[in-house]
Structure 1
Amino acid sequence: MTAQGLRIAGFGFRSEATLESLAQAQDQLIDRYGAIDKLAAARSMLPLVEELGRLRNIEVIAVADAELPTVTTLTHSAQSLQARGTGSVAEAVALLAAGPGATLLGPRLMSADRQATIAVAEGNNQ
């Protein structure tokens, strides 16, 4: 755990996303913000993130899909709003998994192939 609090990376991605899409997005996030403590995903998107967690030996937290619209995000993607009720699945997942009072370290990042997004929130949950 970092001195500031637990850093949790949340994912959002299209159905076409691959494990490589998620891994590249995570590497980009770590390059920008440093180490992360856990990964998180909406329950409906969990299997691919769990696979990445197993490969990288990082615990994965599941977030209820129904909670996504309850979070205010920095990014306001029209596609994400229509599909999931939130401006950014990655940002919403990170904030929900990090717990009450969590803050985003910045807006979501997108994988090079544009199939996955990732955001990191800092909090003291889990």
Structure 2
Amino acid sequence: MIIAGLGFSSTATVDSLRAVFERASVGQNVDALATVADKEGHAALSEFAAETALPLHFIAAADLAGQRTLTCSNRSRAIYGTGSVAEASALAAAGTGARLTSPRQISDDRLATCAVAIGGQT
């Protein structure tokens, strides 16, 4: 399974999410989206998920902390205990043995990030 993990600011727009998703997932057939559970209900996320028609997995914040990421945002580290919400969400949702196929990409407006992981075992 190929998962696109998303991290974003409360002010992110659907355009921010769409642009960074397209950048991170180029050439990959993404099966689902994932992000941290506290983003559930965010209007832009809901709209983007509906637009893509991909299932959306919400990952408990505690499950992000144990994920090793390739990149590091100081804000993500301070709030969630991981270097990248996008990378950690993708890895956690993709399952045991998952690996990143696209490290965290940042939208031009710097409001959203996306990373893609392929699953090992689920």
What TM-score does the superposition give when structure 1 sets the normalisation length?
A: 0.87
- Quote how far apart the aligned CAs of 1:28 are: 1.2
Tell me the equivalent position of 2:18: 23
Given that residues 9 and 40 in structure 1 are in contact (C-alpha distance below 8 angstroms), is that contact kept between their aligned partners in structure 2?
yes
Separation in 1, partners of 2:120, 2:78? 30
- Quote how far apart the aligned CAs of 1:63 are: 0.7
Residue 111 (structure 1) aligned to one of 84, 101, 107: 107
Separation in 2, partners of 1:123, 1:102? 4
Separation in 2, partners of 1:30, 1:74? 17
- Quote how far apart the aligned CAs of 1:79 are: 1.9
Tell me the equivalent position of 1:44: 38
The superposition leaves residues 13-59 of structure 1 with CA deviations (integer Å, 9 ceiling, x where unpaired) of 1111111111111111232x422111111111123433311122111
Residue type at the aligned position of 2:99: T
Residue type at the aligned position of 1:115: L
- Quote how far apart the aligned CAs of 1:120 are: 0.4
Residue type at the aligned position of 2:96: P
What pairs with 1:3-82 in structure 2 (closer than 5 Å)? 6-31=1-26, 33-48=27-42, 49-82=45-78
Contiguous gaps of at least 5 residues in structure 1: 1-5
Separation in 2, partners of 1:119, 1:47? 21
How many pairs are equivalent?
120
Contiguous gaps of at least 5 residues in structure 2: none
For the aligned residue pairs, the C-alpha RMSD in angstroms reads: 1.5
Separation in 2, partners of 1:93, 1:85? 12
Given that residues 97 and 125 in structure 1 are in contact (C-alpha distance below 8 angstroms), is that contact kept between their aligned partners in structure 2?
no
Separation in 2, partners of 1:13, 1:125? 27
Tell me the equivalent position of 1:85: 81
Give the 4+ runs in structure 1 shifted more than 6 A. Answer: none
Tell me the equivalent position of 1:102: 98
What TM-score does the superposition give when structure 2 sets the normalisation length?
A: 0.90
